[in-house]
Structure 1
Amino acid sequence: MNKVAVTKNVQEAYNSQYDDRMTQWRELGARYKSRNIIAVTKGKKFAKVLDFGAGEGSILKQLDDHAAFEKLYAVEISDSGIAQIAERDIKSLVEVKKFDGYTTEYADNEFDLVYCSHVIEHVEHPRLVLREIKRISKAQVFEVPLDYGKGLPQKTEHFLAYGHINIFTPAIFKFLLMSEGFRISEELHANTPQEILEFNWYENMKLKKSLKRRILAQLLSNKARLARLVFGREKANEFYSSSYTCFTEKSGELTIF
């Protein structure tokens, strides 16, 4: 049986994905992603931590010198991402390795924590990624964007332009995790912050600033909170959040039938 790896066209796309044009955008997003990791780990300390799919290292940089994460490691599929990580002054980073997107050379339970932030939506075989993370870690943090919504089939090209080939709701992602033997102990539902929405509109998309867009950004960044007043917490979290973050531990193996 041939070893599963990222397909050639996907590899080539990500090899040139991380350039200086989007650095500020990714740095801004990493501030919030790292805060979410810290929030769901609830003050726990981890001696050895791996970023699974580290991109250009913006989350690693945010977690550098944080007391809860002593030694940082990273694996990444793209040459451009690894090059940018190497240029960063990440004092607690022990090593960064290129890998095939699915398998690593690390031993079972080698890491106290593996975090995988905004990666699962990009991979062709999510369960293989989850199984490798589970194998090499004692605890895990996952974060995925919540792209499901009205008119989804009509938005296919939009999501593919961002490399999103898997679509999740919190319930769908939780089922995926639990069916692979993860136990969820902490979770966080969030909306895209106003400053990220506005940066995307004005800097990336080059839209003109307006009072209307400012108000819209304020509403969207509080969408789930407002929805809770109308629909209740469960429905609001499921259908009006923009991202889902969870802290997990291993609960067993995949069992069917």
Structure 2
Amino acid sequence: MAQNQTSEIIDAYSGFYENHDEAWRMLGAKYKAQNIVDVCRGKQFAKVLEVGAGDGSILYHLDQQQFAPELFAIEISESGVEHIKGRNLRSIKEVQLFDGYHIPYADQEFDLVILAHVLEHVEYERMLLRELKRVARFQVIEVPRDYRFGVDNRIGHFLAYGHINVYTPSSLRYLLRSEGFKILTDKTSMIQPEVTRFNTFINQKKQKSLVKNLKITVEYRLKTILNRLLGKKSREKLASAYTVLCSFSEEKTQIFNR
């Protein structure tokens, strides 16, 4: 990757968190953190790194849940790093800037590395994925399920959020397995009603009404019922995000190196 490309990316995100919506990010992060906890249920991790930690909103919720005694963070944005440090979270041991690809830690330094809603922004996905498995035995990865039929007609919408890659659960699994990751646990999740209400009435500034409120609740419950009745295929089709806990398969490494 050319040095000037890296510099352009860093410059683009440098001040990203200087004037951001704290309440909106914290609300979304609550459910992202819960997804991480859910896929890791039954396992304990002493030393955890979040890559692309943003403003530290996910780390805040993990800290509140005492997810791990030692949390570390790296982030491409200077304003993000400062925001994380300013939270003064009990579990946070170190926060560093990084270039978006090269993780500044030794091989297998962590028990777990987290990459939540980052991969859709990354130009060279496989380069970053290889760094994740280098620094930790286990990896949690979450992506939004942006892909829909006709997604190419909404390119302006997704690029406005910096989403240069779009995924389905199947396409993410293919990417991970082709890089030698073994998927241990996965979870599909839908946007919760309180998040939809916040986005509708606060972000989009639409006028509140009993009918709109009821519609949000009914649509969520209907999707939940369909998921129960129709199974995994329905869950993946209706999901808004997909979360996986992975480990790296040494057997795959040997196959790829032949």
Relative to structure 1, the CA distance from residue 229 to residue 73 in structure 2 (aligned partners, 3 Å threshold; closer, same or farther) is closer
Relative to structure 1, the CA distance from residue 140 to residue 6 in structure 2 (aligned partners, 3 Å threshold; closer, same or farther) is farther
1:204 aligns with 2:203: yes
1:95 aligns with 2:100: no
The amino acid across from 1:111 in the alignment is F
The CA deviation at 1:19 is 3.1
Among all aligned residue pairs of Structure 1 and Structure 2, give the percentage whose two residues are the same amino acid.
42
The CA deviation at 1:65 is 5.0
* Partner residue, 1:255: 256
* Partner residue, 2:31: 32
1:82 aligns with 2:81: yes
The CA deviation at 1:219 is 4.1
* Partner residue, 1:41: 40
* Partner residue, 2:236: 238
The CA deviation at 1:168 is 0.4
CA distance in 1, matches of 2:42, 2:91: 18
Alignment of 1:102-117 (within 5 A): 102-117=101-116
CA distance in 2, matches of 1:62, 1:3: 36
* Partner residue, 2:160: 161
Relative to structure 1, the CA distance from residue 220 to residue 79 in structure 2 (aligned partners, 3 Å threshold; closer, same or farther) is farther
Contact 1:122 1:166 in 2 (8 A): yes
SS at match of 1:64: helix
Relative to structure 1, the CA distance from residue 100 to residue 80 in structure 2 (aligned partners, 3 Å threshold; closer, same or farther) is same
Contact 1:121 1:166 in 2 (8 A): yes
Report the aligned-residue RMSD.
2.1
SS at match of 2:110: coil
Contact 2:110 2:135 in 1 (8 A): yes
Relative to structure 1, the CA distance from residue 45 to residue 67 in structure 2 (aligned partners, 3 Å threshold; closer, same or farther) is farther
Relative to structure 1, the CA distance from residue 35 to residue 132 in structure 2 (aligned partners, 3 Å threshold; closer, same or farther) is same
The CA deviation at 1:33 is 0.8
Contact 2:6 2:99 in 1 (8 A): no
* Partner residue, 2:227: 228
CA distance in 2, matches of 1:33, 1:76: 17
The CA deviation at 1:126 is 0.9
The CA deviation at 1:121 is 0.7
The amino acid across from 2:161 in the alignment is Y
CA distance in 2, matches of 1:69, 1:3: 36
TM-score (norm 1): 0.92
1:186 aligns with 2:158: no
CA distance in 1, matches of 2:41, 2:214: 33
Query: Structure 2, unaligned stretches of length 5 or more?
Result: none
CA distance in 1, matches of 2:220, 2:4: 37
Q: Deviations over 1:196-231 (max 9, x none)?
A: 11111221121111234323322443464233366x
Q: Deviations over 1:44-90 (max 9, x none)?
A: 21111000100000111111153441100000000110111111020
CA distance in 1, matches of 2:6, 2:220: 35
Deviates more, 1:200-209 or 1:156-165: 200-209
The CA deviation at 1:145 is 0.4
Contact 1:5 1:102 in 2 (8 A): no
SS at match of 2:46: strand
Alignment of 1:105-184 (within 5 A): 105-184=104-183
SS at match of 2:106: coil
TM-score (norm 2): 0.91
Relative to structure 1, the CA distance from residue 249 to residue 236 in structure 2 (aligned partners, 3 Å threshold; closer, same or farther) is same
SS at match of 1:141: strand
Contact 1:5 1:101 in 2 (8 A): no
The amino acid across from 1:238 in the alignment is E
CA distance in 1, matches of 2:42, 2:66: 9
